[in-house]
Structure 1
Amino acid sequence: MLIVCFLLAWLLSSWLNLAVLGKRERFLAAEIRKVFSASFPQVTRVVDEVKQARTLLEAKKTESADGGAFSSVSLLDVMERISSTLPKGINFQVVNLFWERGRLEIDGRTDSFKTVNAIQESLSKSRAFPEVTISNAKTRSDGQDVEFKITIRLAG
């Protein structure tokens, strides 16, 4: 009799686990559908959200790369190039970063206008960055740091 009770308890537990997993699966499928529909509203016939999203994202990558030199350059690659181009003694804090096809805008803070100019001069010497422009540099209201904005155009 004890074995029958354990067997029934195990079967009930297994059935409850399957029911909970089924409910979780339905919830996740609905969430995937909702995110897919919000991300790709132009798609009216949804068959397999994951495959369709991958296909659409690949098409967007190809479209945004324009088949040019930027298709294989990532933001991480650009940041590594910047880091290796700047002399070791130049320190600054990145406050904001804007990455767009072939262009990078960095809002930052550093200790002086001299450092801002050194950043611009160092980056301008690199062939990877044919155009480096300081569009804004000013002393912060507390007088401690200099805030700046540098726009970098990438070669290619």
Structure 2
Amino acid sequence: MALDKVQGRDVGIAIQKTINAALVYALIGCLTDSTFDVDTETDEATCIASGQFKEFIGGQTGWSLGGTLNVRQATNDASGPGATDADDNVTAENLLDIQLSENNQVQVRYRIGSKKGSAWYTGTGIITKSSFKGQLKGIATYAITIQGSGPLVKTLAPA
């Protein structure tokens, strides 16, 4: 079994959306960084017989995703049959629209690697923070935070 290095460009966040009448996961475009945090609470289980060291047991687990992306605008200016570049992308504008909608939950997947057998962690999340930053020089950026709600399901990337 080979151990391959995973480049930063090979990890990322994908959002489930409908493209050409099919549910697919589309990577959030232009991500410059991403985070995937999993936290497990602990409960102290120390008793007198434990001696001078505390003992703990694991509690509930929570997770969140986040990242920063360069802001790009997707327009339907592609040519050819079925060309829908705006529909096939997930942009900062799409994510803000989801957050502002009544149902601000999204099906998300965090991808770790890009090869066959790479881990995908999938779950339902709520977009809790959107932050746009525009400066005089350089590209505008957008930061997002997605709070997980419920379990994560691990699958492996197909060939």
TM category (shorter chain) comes to 0.3 to 0.5
TM-score by length of 2: 0.34
TM-score computed with the length of structure 1 as normaliser:
0.35
| Higher relative contact order structure (alpha carbons within 8 Å, sequence separation ≥ 6) | 2
